[in-house]
Structure 1
């Protein structure tokens, strides 16, 4: 491990906080509040899980990708050989960002360090990074940050609080035990200093960023993570940056948005999320197939229709969709995923008005679909309904007009004490999303 002057910046900021818990009394800056609104308006982003684990392609197991070190019990000395095989010569930051824009996405969240402890940027604190340990020898995070600024895409940094590699991540959590070869000793405070030092690098060396996307705290949920110190560090270095944590519990003071993993807010099909939905901006993260990182054997690709439905359902629940791709070890995105993103972009080009800048509509999510709303414009997204009439209830608002969004033709309707009855002829139904635009009085 290399320790250098970057820690001086860290400690000067850490002295500003002596909180051992969350950032109690946190008051977001005006810039932060504006960025929260931007985030809610953006609605759609790309998640990128990429690291040296991609070289193994899941090891032939369709259920394994970025967790291969843990799931295959690979000791550190063996895993440390992987960086010498990681040479993504086909990585093209400009092409990635163009792909994101063409898909209708507004931001990127990328793994700067995953649970394996390997940094995908030029860390000066640790030489276990892409510049010092791979034949590629380039800082892909820097290239991506520069390209995002050129093309007006915001960049968020995923950072794993969990670390299977660092010797001071001790006591061990639920994972990373019994196979890594680490000594059963360590200095927890030294690890937190290391983590905050890397965060300082990311927040001072790569320009303004959208925020920090934390993961892994669930590994040691009862540990003293000293969140107040870490969160104040981030908010001091970049007051506008948003903080979110994938800890699967009610947000802590100091966090600026809440995320849900592989689940729509409130559904909790995974059993991880709990039932609490905060008043913070919301985000759902979803795999485009069945894996977060690159998996050679994972052919469980979601169709463009399924992906559009998840985007619409997220928006109808006041949440963004953060759609994940796992790049191949050569730096390219799988062709199947590029095609799906292009199809989503084509749909958004026609229907984005009903998604961007909207909030959850006054009509609650139902089995047939959801609603989104922008001022007096209410959009009903009918995703799964095979009958010729739909009764929306309750519906007590007065309406000025009801039209099909696609061609602005009138929708035959009746509004009474039972609700809003809509006639939807077969020739007006869309195979993906039949959108009805209601202008409220």
Structure 2
């Protein structure tokens, strides 16, 4: 996950994003191209109904409790720093990092436990890191021995050693849509970071046009791994491709800082890859992050929420803790913060992909299950206002956020507060669009009748004492 790419992106697709978002929009591309394949269009529409997904970054790096892959990158950034105890020199560090393969043994791995907890919390799709930038495959690739199923890896003896297959099968059986994260760059491959030269930064360390045979080998390697993932792992709904610096040179946006570091052509032939993936998985949604065109079917702002509704399919990927990868004693967000973030995202027409990182033992921290249980309680009462909804102007006014059912018959109004512990007030007044004619008004989670009146384009609601039972928000549902 290039969470650490510092960008200032101008995103122009019949929408406006505030200047506050410019500084955080790590992975939003200009020039969105609507898919032409009707099955992809249909799948995107269904994906937009799901709203809440699970992201999981997991690999050998969890044993050190460090950022995923990025400490291998010879860039002097805050997220690439290396701890001296893991190697005094860069080469020693890389050797020790890659040797983590020989100790990776997450014996508590139980994807059913994850599926149970996240499903109750309302998550409806999962995106799992089959391979991050470090090149370690969390699936049984035949293209490399740097993988969890290698005899070099202790966990290879476990019947659940092919963790990607176990995760995909388990979550699919529990009704989730399945997404495969895959890093286009591979810092372990001698055809990407050629051992003849030292790596200079995150990019390929040789000129592919000067050494075309080597680059062709890398293209074949990448194609073959993606063919394995889309052929051998059951129904895959989303192919989530990361590492946007691997791209045709002509697609570089010079206004974006990290893209200015790309000095050579790194075209891996996405047309060939995408055509193969769609042959293996008809209608699969492909997300070639930050590379505008027909293979970026939705855009992916990272660790940020757009200030306004977007007119194209989008998904914010945001961590439950501070880190995408497991770190000991991570600072996990409160359930209230998570619910507030979900409400903001869906009111602007997006999906919330929340990252939870398994630890080296193969399980989540205990606090994660506490958060998921708390979210479940809120979701039990309010899910009808969340799923299969669309954005509705005015989207957001003061502490109120709006969604509507796809048929437009139901309007949902969320009230939240920045206070640490939400307390529903005795009265709420909010605007509604002029064309809304309420027939019934109810508050989700409250069984007693609600007193309300409409005056102009305002609705005034009186909440009973039962409001003290409401956690994190008040959700008002208006039926026309």
Instruction: Measure how far apart 1:396 and its partner are.
Output: 4.1
Instruction: Measure how far apart 1:235 and its partner are.
Output: 1.4
- Matched pairs, number: 397
TM (normalized to structure 1)? 0.81
Instruction: Measure how far apart 1:93 and its partner are.
Output: 2.1
Secondary structure of 2:300's match?
strand
What residue in structure 1 maps to residue 324 of structure 2? Answer: 292
Instruction: Measure how far apart 1:414 and its partner are.
Output: 2.6
Q: Which ranges in structure 1 are unaligned for 5 or more consecutive residues? A: 1-21, 59-63, 268-275
What residue in structure 1 maps to residue 137 of structure 2? Answer: 119
- 122, 128, 134: which one pairs with 1:104? 122
- The answer to whether structure 1 residue 143 and structure 2 residue 176 are counterparts is no
Structure 1 residues 100, 164: CA separation in 2 closer, same or farther (over 3 Å shift)? same
What residue in structure 2 maps to residue 54 of structure 1? Answer: 62
Secondary structure of 1:321's match?
strand
**Contact conserved, 2:62 with 2:360, CA < 8 A, in 1?**
yes
After TM superposition, the structure 1 = structure 2 runs for residues 130-169 of structure 1, keeping only pairs within 5 Å, are 130-132=148-150, 133-137=152-156, 138-169=161-192
- The answer to whether structure 1 residue 95 and structure 2 residue 122 are counterparts is no
**Contact conserved, 2:235 with 2:281, CA < 8 A, in 1?**
yes
Q: Deviations over 1:325-374 (max 9, x none)?
A: 11001101111111111211221111111111111124322331311111
- 216, 220, 229: which one pairs with 1:193? 220
Instruction: Measure how far apart 1:423 and its partner are.
Output: 3.6
**Contact conserved, 1:24 with 1:228, CA < 8 A, in 2?**
no
Secondary structure of 1:156's match?
strand
CA distance in 2, matches of 1:41, 1:23: 20
- The answer to whether structure 1 residue 407 and structure 2 residue 446 are counterparts is yes
- The answer to whether structure 1 residue 437 and structure 2 residue 477 are counterparts is yes
Structure 1 residues 184, 422: CA separation in 2 closer, same or farther (over 3 Å shift)? same
CA distance in 1, matches of 2:477, 2:326: 40
Instruction: Measure how far apart 1:406 and its partner are.
Output: 2.7
**Contact conserved, 1:46 with 1:105, CA < 8 A, in 2?**
yes
CA distance in 2, matches of 1:283, 1:43: 9
- The answer to whether structure 1 residue 306 and structure 2 residue 337 are counterparts is yes
RMSD, aligned CA: 3.0
**Contact conserved, 2:416 with 2:474, CA < 8 A, in 1?**
yes
**Contact conserved, 1:125 with 1:198, CA < 8 A, in 2?**
yes
- The answer to whether structure 1 residue 380 and structure 2 residue 399 are counterparts is no
- 35, 40, 50: which one pairs with 2:48? 40
CA distance in 2, matches of 1:144, 1:346: 25
Secondary structure of 1:364's match?
strand
**Contact conserved, 1:165 with 1:180, CA < 8 A, in 2?**
no
**Contact conserved, 2:60 with 2:104, CA < 8 A, in 1?**
yes
**Contact conserved, 2:187 with 2:193, CA < 8 A, in 1?**
no
- The answer to whether structure 1 residue 328 and structure 2 residue 359 are counterparts is yes
CA distance in 1, matches of 2:241, 2:400: 31
- The answer to whether structure 1 residue 85 and structure 2 residue 94 are counterparts is no
Structure 1 residues 244, 184: CA separation in 2 closer, same or farther (over 3 Å shift)? closer
Secondary structure of 2:149's match?
helix
Secondary structure of 1:136's match?
helix
Structure 1 residues 320, 23: CA separation in 2 closer, same or farther (over 3 Å shift)? closer
CA distance in 1, matches of 2:395, 2:352: 18
CA distance in 2, matches of 1:166, 1:412: 64
**Contact conserved, 1:170 with 1:188, CA < 8 A, in 2?**
no
CA distance in 2, matches of 1:384, 1:266: 17
CA distance in 1, matches of 2:400, 2:104: 44
What residue in structure 1 maps to residue 382 of structure 2? Answer: 351
**Contact conserved, 1:66 with 1:293, CA < 8 A, in 2?**
no
After TM superposition, the structure 1 = structure 2 runs for residues 412-423 of structure 1, keeping only pairs within 5 Å, are 412-416=452-456, 419-423=457-461
CA distance in 1, matches of 2:232, 2:298: 24
**Contact conserved, 1:170 with 1:184, CA < 8 A, in 2?**
no
After TM superposition, the structure 1 = structure 2 runs for residues 2-21 of structure 1, keeping only pairs within 5 Å, are none
